[in-house]
């Protein structure tokens, strides 16, 4: 099966008052039709910038982007802004982290959902309204005819996120980007939203890029995982392979910090000491070396490359876990 999306050596920099901020450093990945990818990392690791750069959502007056992004073999970085905009909604769409900032607070829900079908698909006002009702049913919102007339503030957080999903899938995109879609929700609603996204992906045969800081979130909802740290992919593998054979110490640290039902009440969770390196400063050695309990002198002075360990498992480490050298 040929790739739907091919990202090759994508690099993103921002000019700031403190100097050039290197947010994404030569990232490459691909996605097949119907396949799901989880992009995982701490806040500041570059995962959100990566997803928005892939879609072409960054303002080029502030972001300097290089590399290749191909969707259906069309080079997106060569397209004009208007040609790129024509692909938003119909070929690729995004569910943002905070629906309250993404939704227009003074427009009714029905108008916001119907906008895409009217503009992108050329539907009549009547047909677009009917499409909005169908979409609300698809995202499992009860009494959709009543919800159409409401404003975002009249809905709960979980319902607002369902509305965002309805807007995203309204024009049948081939790829859905979900950027921390459950951050502001309680645990029960988080599980419902993730289950809904997974169900819709299979129902509509969409590809999915799920961006999150939580490895536990992607465990049951993705085919493969890319772990990001300091703007780079440090480990990438099929989901089962990654959880079975962790190679990168950073991935191990993320796994250890996930709360488990078997933990005793009141026990302190392991934390990753230290902080991400300053993205405006040159980086010597492995980006994780200052925080890694396995680091040697080599880790502090030489930069590891992303190597193929077999079974589709890539990692960026001189001394990968579970590998005898």
Render pLDDT for 126-141 as a digit per residue (tens, 0 to 9). Answer: 999 999 999 999 999 9
Token duo for residue 58: 């960054």
- What is the distance of C-alpha 284 from the center of its chain? 27
Cα distance between residue 279 and residue 229, in whole Å: 11
Cα distance between residue 112 and residue 148, in whole Å: 9
The 3 state secondary structure assigned to 97-138 is: CCHHHHCCCCCCHHHHHHHHHHHHHCCCHHHHHHHHHHHHHH
Checking if the pLDDT of 113 tops 70, the result is yes
- Where are the chain's structural domains? 228-259+270-325
pLDDT of residue 242: 95
Token look-up 């994404």 returns 24
Render pLDDT for 230-247 as a digit per residue (tens, 0 to 9). Answer: 999 999 999 999 999 999
State the average pLDDT for the chain.
91
Q: Given pLDDT bands bounded at 50, 70 and 90, which one contains residue 54?
A: very high
Q: Given pLDDT bands bounded at 50, 70 and 90, which one contains residue 325?
A: low
Q: Given pLDDT bands bounded at 50, 70 and 90, which one contains residue 205?
A: very high
pLDDT of residue 261: 62
Token duo for residue 10: 């994508």
92-96, 195-199, 308-312, 321-325: least confident range: 321-325
Checking if the pLDDT of 42 tops 80, the result is yes
Render pLDDT for 262-301 as a digit per residue (tens, 0 to 9). Answer: 666 767 777 888 889 999 998 889 999 999 999 999 999 9
Q: Given pLDDT bands bounded at 50, 70 and 90, which one contains residue 32?
A: very high
Q: Given pLDDT bands bounded at 50, 70 and 90, which one contains residue 61?
A: confident
pLDDT of residue 92: 96
Residue with the bigger pLDDT between 145 and 2: it is: 145
Q: Given pLDDT bands bounded at 50, 70 and 90, which one contains residue 20?
A: very high
Checking if the pLDDT of 259 tops 80, the result is no
Token look-up 């190679």 returns 247
* CB-based contacts of 4, cutoff 8 Å, min separation 6: 31, 32, 33, 35, 71, 72, 174, 175, 207
Checking if the pLDDT of 7 tops 80, the result is yes
Checking if the pLDDT of 52 tops 90, the result is yes
pLDDT of residue 127: 96
């Amino acid at each position: 099966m040929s790739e739907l999306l091919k990202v090759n050596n994508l690099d993103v920099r921002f000019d700031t008052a403190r100097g050039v901020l290197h947010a994404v450093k030569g990232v490459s990945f691909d996605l097949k039709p119907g396949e799901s990818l989880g992009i995982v990392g701490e806040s500041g690791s570059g995962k959100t910038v990566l997803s928005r750069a892939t879609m072409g959502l960054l303002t080029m007056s502030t972001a300097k982007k290089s590399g290749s992004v191909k969707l259906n073999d069309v080079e997106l970085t060569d397209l004009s802004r208007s040609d790129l905009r024509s692909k938003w909604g119909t070929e690729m769409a995004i569910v943002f982290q905070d629906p309250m900032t993404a939704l227009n607070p003074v427009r009714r829900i029905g108008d916001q959902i119907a906008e895409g079908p009217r503009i992108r698909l050329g539907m009549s006002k009547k047909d677009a309204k009917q499409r909005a009702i169908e979409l609300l049913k698809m995202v499992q919102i009860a009494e959709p005819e009543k919800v159409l007339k409401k404003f975002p503030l009249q809905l709960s957080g979980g319902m607002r996120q369902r509305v965002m999903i309805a807007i995203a899938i309204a024009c049948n995109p081939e790829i859905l980007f979900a950027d921390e879609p459950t951050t502001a929700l309680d645990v029960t609603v988080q599980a419902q939203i993730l289950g809904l996204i997974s169900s819709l992906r299979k129902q509509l045969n969409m590809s999915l890029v799920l961006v999150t800081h939580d490895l536990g979130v992607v465990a049951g909802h993705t085919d493969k995982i890319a772990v990001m740290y300091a703007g780079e992919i440090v480990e990438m593998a099929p989901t089962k392979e990654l959880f079975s054979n962790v190679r990168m110490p950073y991935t191990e640290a993320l796994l250890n910090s996930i709360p488990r039902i078997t933990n005793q009440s009141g026990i302190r969770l392991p934390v990753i000491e230290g902080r991400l390196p300053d993205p405006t400063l040159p980086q010597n050695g492995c980006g994780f070396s200052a925080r890694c309990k396995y680091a040697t002198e080599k880790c502090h002075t030489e930069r590891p490359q992303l190597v193929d360990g077999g079974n589709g498992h890539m990692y960026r480490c001189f001394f990968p876990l579970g590998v005898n050298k």
